[in-house]
Structure 1
Amino acid sequence: MRLLIADDHALILDMLQNFLEQEKDMEIVAANDMQDAISAVSAQPGFDLALLDYDMPGMDKLDGLRRFMENNSAPPVVILSGHAARDVAQRAVSMGARGFLPKSMPAQSLLHAIRFMALGEKYVPVDFLFSSDQADASPAPDGPSATALTARELDVLKALCDGKTNKEIARDLGLREPTIKLHVKTLYRRLGASNRTQAVMIARSWGIY
C-alpha cells in the first residue's frame, strides 16, 4: 500500500511516517505542503490514499482539496486535522474525500481507519460526529443509537442478526470479506459489543431487527 502524507508540521509528519512504516505492506511518501503533494502524485502516480492536512500551506481550507482532486493522478483523499469542526468533515466527504481523521485518534484506530478506506470505504469517526465539544455539534445521543450507524453498517448488522457469516455477508453485499471484517469490528466498537451475540442483542433491544 502506497500512501502520500502531506503535513507542514514536521514532528507530526515524522511520527505518522515512522508509525505507519512499521507495517510491512506500507510505503510512505511525505510532502510538506499542497504544492509538494500535487507534485508527488504527478511524478509518482499509483498511490492508494493521500492524507492531506487541513491547515497546511496551499490547502486554503477545502479549496486545496478540490484542486488536488482535479489532478488526473490523484488518489482517494483523506483529510487530517487537529481542530477542524464537524461541518468541515461533512463538506470534505460531500466533495469527494474518502474520509476525515482527527489527529487526536489513537494510533491503532488510525491504522484501522486507513486500511478501511484503502478498501474503498468512507470513514469519519462517529464519536467525532457526535462529540459535544464540536462548536456546531448537535446534542450527543444518549447511548448507542441506530442513527449513529451508516447505511452500510446497518446492512451488516442486519446480516449478523440473520446469523450470516462474513463470507455470506460479503457475497450478499457485493463486497470483499476483509471489508466486512472491518465493518464488523467497527460495529463492535460503536455498539460497545465484544462479540456477535452482544451486537445482535443490542440491535434487538432497539427493536430494529
Structure 2
Amino acid sequence: MTLNILIADDHDMVRESIAMFLDTDGTTNTVAAGQLKEALELIDKDGPFDLVLLDYTMPGMKGLEGLKAAISANGGKPVGLISGTATRLIAEQALEMGAIGFLPKTLPVKSLVNAVRFMAAGETYAPLSFMSGKDDPEETDFEKDLSDREKQVLRGLMEAKSNKEIARDLELQEVTIKLHVKTLCRKLDAKNRTDAAMIARDAGFM
C-alpha cells in the first residue's frame, strides 16, 4: 500500500531531502507545497493525505492557526509539525491541538524519515530528548540578536499594547519604547509594530 504524504515547507532543500529519502523504497508518494495556502488547496484537491507535514514558520501559518486549519481540512487523517525554531511549549500545544507529532529539523535524516512513517501509520511521535528539554537551546536564533529590553518590548507588542502601556509596564519613558520599537522593526525586517509581533509569533517567540 502506497502512503500519500504532503510535505509543506518553504525551504526547497528540506522538502526535497525528506521526499528523496521517503520515496527510495517505493512505498510512499510525496507531494510538496511551499506555503499553507498551497497545502490547503492540495488537501482540498487531492486529499485527504495519509500524512500532512507542516513547517511551523512557513508563509501563511500564523503560528498554530495553520495547524488547526490543516487538521480540519485533512478529514481526520494525521497532521504533524516540523520546525527548526519552535520551542518545546509550541510542540506541546501542537500535540494538545491534535497534531500527530512534532519533528525538530535537528533530527538526523534517517530518524526524520522513520518518524514520518511512524506518524503516517497513525502513531504519535515527539522525540523524548526534545520534549524533556534536554536539547533545549538557551535561546533560539531568533532571540540571539535581541537585548533583554527589546524582548520585553516585543512581548508588549505581541499583546497589542500601546507604547504608553509598555512604558508603564516597564517603568520607562514612552520615547524610549518608541526607539526600541524602531530598532525591533529594523532588526526583524518588519514593516511596522504589528508585523514585528507577527514575525515574532511565527518564530515561536514567547
TM-score of the alignment, normalized to the shorter chain, above 0.5: yes
User: Is 1:118 aligned to 2:120, yes or no?
Assistant: yes
The 8 Å contact of residues 85 and 135 in structure 1, kept in 2 or not, is answered as no
Aligned residues: 137
1:15-164 to 2 correspondences below 5 Å: 15-71=17-73, 73=75, 75-134=77-136
Q: CA deviation at 1:72?
A: 5.5
The 8 Å contact of residues 41 and 74 in structure 1, kept in 2 or not, is answered as no
In structure 2, the residue matched to 1:2 is 4
Q: CA deviation at 1:43?
A: 0.3
The share of aligned pairs that are identical, in percent, is 42
1:92 and 1:23 mapped to 2: Cα distance? Answer: 30
Moved more, 1-10 or 61-70: 61-70
The 8 Å contact of residues 48 and 74 in structure 2, kept in 1 or not, is answered as no
**Which protein shows a greater Rg?**
2
Q: TM-score, normalised by structure 1?
A: 0.61
Amino acid at match of 1:18: M
Q: CA deviation at 1:134?
A: 2.2
2:12 and 2:123 mapped to 1: Cα distance? Answer: 29
The 8 Å contact of residues 68 and 74 in structure 1, kept in 2 or not, is answered as no
Q: Which stretches in structure 1 are left out of the alignment for 5+ residues?
A: 137-209
CA-to-aligned-CA distance 1:151-183 (integer Å, 9 cap, x gap): xxxxxxxxxxxxxxxxxxxxxxxxxxxxxxxxx
Q: CA deviation at 1:119?
A: 2.0
1:116 and 1:12 mapped to 2: Cα distance? Answer: 19
Residue 109 and residue 117 in structure 1: after superposition, are their counterparts in 2 closer, same or farther (change >3 A)? same
Q: 3-state DSSP class of the match of 1:68?
A: helix
Relative contact order: is structure 1 or structure 2 higher (C-alpha 8 Å, sep ≥ 6)?
2
Residue 74 and residue 31 in structure 1: after superposition, are their counterparts in 2 closer, same or farther (change >3 A)? farther
In structure 1, the residue matched to 2:199 is none
Q: 3-state DSSP class of the match of 1:70?
A: helix
The 8 Å contact of residues 57 and 63 in structure 2, kept in 1 or not, is answered as yes
Q: CA deviation at 1:74?
A: 6.3
Q: CA deviation at 1:55?
A: 0.5
2:49 and 2:134 mapped to 1: Cα distance? Answer: 35
2:135 and 2:77 mapped to 1: Cα distance? Answer: 32
Moved more, 3-12 or 67-76: 67-76
2:137 and 2:112 mapped to 1: Cα distance? Answer: 23
Q: TM-score, normalised by structure 2?
A: 0.62
